[in-house]
Each structure stands twice: as structure tokens, then as C-alpha cells.
Homo-oligomer: A and B are copies of this chain.
Amino acid sequence: MPLLVVGSVALDSVETPTQRRDNVLGGSATYFSYAASYFTSVRVVGVVGEDFPSEHTALLAGRGIDTEGLHVMPGGKTFRWTGKYLPNMNDRETLEVHLNVFEHFDPVLPDSYRRCRYLFLANGSPKVQMKVLNQVTKPALVVADTMDLWINIQRDDLMALLKRLDGIVLNDSEARLLTDDENLVRAGRAVQRMGPKFVVIKKGEHGAMFFSEEQTFVLPAYPTSQVVDPTGAGDSFAGGMMGHLASRDRVDAQTLKEALAYGVVVASFNVEDFSLERMKQIGKPEIDKRFAEYRQMLSF
């Protein structure tokens, strides 16, 4: 089944304790769509400026990603983010954000996208996420990401959105902020009671937790010795997860667990280099091989 993602496309400058890259391809919709493209056909909706290098669009298209919905704003500049990772490579500081064309992002879905049954609303204002959701005619599965900013400044909109979602993906500190509970098991269950059928809490290098009426589980991150740049790990995780679900066109308990495991595995590749550098080197066979190792690792 085709999978639709709406989110940011950006040019990132990233500093780690040992290296630095400037103006590399980034953004939530970018990482998500690239990761998902190993599993299913992907349509991306986003906005960039005239400064956006055409080779980046070609890179996405090269993996079969439909970029009809990637709008180039005349005279605009692409969203830029600059960040720095702390020595633990798990925590980071945002040094600069220039929203540019993303500031007034008000996506209108191409007609051909509206009947997409699998939808991922990457991190963005809940108001905009809701407007996108309202343009999709008969979704089978709608999952959104969010962040601390929206929890703080658009909580009511987020609460309204949560009631319309099948799933929400958020990180550990956001789950704690949203529920005012430090214990992630209680926090995950509390978010689930806010509306979505399931909740995924991302814990960075520590993996992810899943909560639904039927099941609670935790999966660790795949242990990689090569953590070069964690940027986009969460979006790659979501892309692997949603990609697997869309490819199977099933959302039962077993498929959801497999989907999270695929998310973990795809994210583990993503962090092994800057931007999409590592992802560009792999195909589905590498993902499946690591998935099998990961499954074996957790089996006793």
C-alpha cells in the first residue's frame, strides 16, 4: 500500500564531538520517506526554497519516492537547522533554527494523494497536522509525531488531534512532559488514554516502548559500535515502522511488533553516518539481514 508522509525537508548543519557537516540533506519527511522506501511506495509532501539542491530531490526520486508533493516556494529559502551532539551522542543542543519556507507550511495534498490509506504526520504543528488529516478521504492508519514545543504551546490542538489518531510516536521526555509522569510505562498508558490506539515512546539509544490495549512491550536499540550522527534516527525509525505496516497492509499486534523491530533496525543504519550517507549504501537485503540478527539477539 502507498504511504503518505507530510513533514519537513531541511538543510542541516551538524556538529558531533569529532566531525562536522554543513548544509546536508535533512528534515523529518526526508528521513522518514527514505527509510520507508525500502518497504513500500512513498509519497512525500513538504516545502523547500529555491536554494534546495536538485540532486536531493533526485536522490529521493531515485528510491522511487513520489516527490510531486514537494513544493518549491518561489523566492523562498529552505528550512535550516544547526545542532550539536554532546559526547554521549544521545543528547543534543539546537544551535540555530531558520524555519524559512516551513514557517507558513500549509500543505495542500495533490488529488492523487488524498486516497492514500497509510498516513504519517511527521513532527509539525498539530493545527497543520489536523488540516492534513482532514484532506485524506479514507485512511486505514494515521500516525503522528510531535515535540515538546507543541505540547507546550498548542496542547489543546494536540489533544484534539490525539483523538483522531491511530498511533502517536514521541520521545521519552515528551511523553513525560505530556503526562507529567516520570515513569514511562505509566506515561505511555496515559498517552494512550488520550485517544490513540497505540503509543510508541522513542528512547534514543535505548530503543522504544509500545503501548496499546492489547500489549505493552519494549525493544532495545540495535547495538551498533558506529554512531556517527543520530540526526533523523527517530524519523528513520518511524519510516521503517510505517513502511512495514503499509507493505503488509495489516495492523495486528504481531505486525506492529515486527514493524517496531524494523524501525529499530533501519534507525541503527541511519546513525552510522551523516545525513542519508549510510542509508544510500544499503538495500532491503541488508535491512533484512540485520532484522534477522536482531530477532535472534532477542530470542532465548
Binding site for B on A (CB under 8 A): 17, 87-89, 182-186, 189, 203, 206-207, 209, 215-225, 227, 254, 257-258, 261, 295, 297-300
Contact = CB atoms under 8 A, between A and B. Distances in A.
Given A218-B297, A261-B300, A298-B299, A223 B182 contact: no
A225 B185 contact: yes
B89 A219 contact: no
27 contacts: A17-B182, A87-B182, A89-B183, A183-B225, A185-B225, A186-B225, A206-B206, A206-B207, A207-B220, A209-B223, A215-B297, A216-B223, A217-B223, A217-B297, A217-B298, A218-B220, A218-B222, A218-B223, A218-B297, A219-B220, A219-B298, A220-B220, A258-B300, A261-B300, A295-B300, A298-B298, A299-B299
Contacts of A216: 223, 297
A257 B182 CA distance: 30
A79 B267 CA distance: 46
A113 B220 CA distance: 39
Contacts of A209: 223
Q: Which 10 A-B pairs have the closest CB atoms?
A: A185-B225, A218-B220, A206-B206, A298-B298, A257-B300, A217-B297, A220-B220, A185-B223, A186-B225, A258-B300
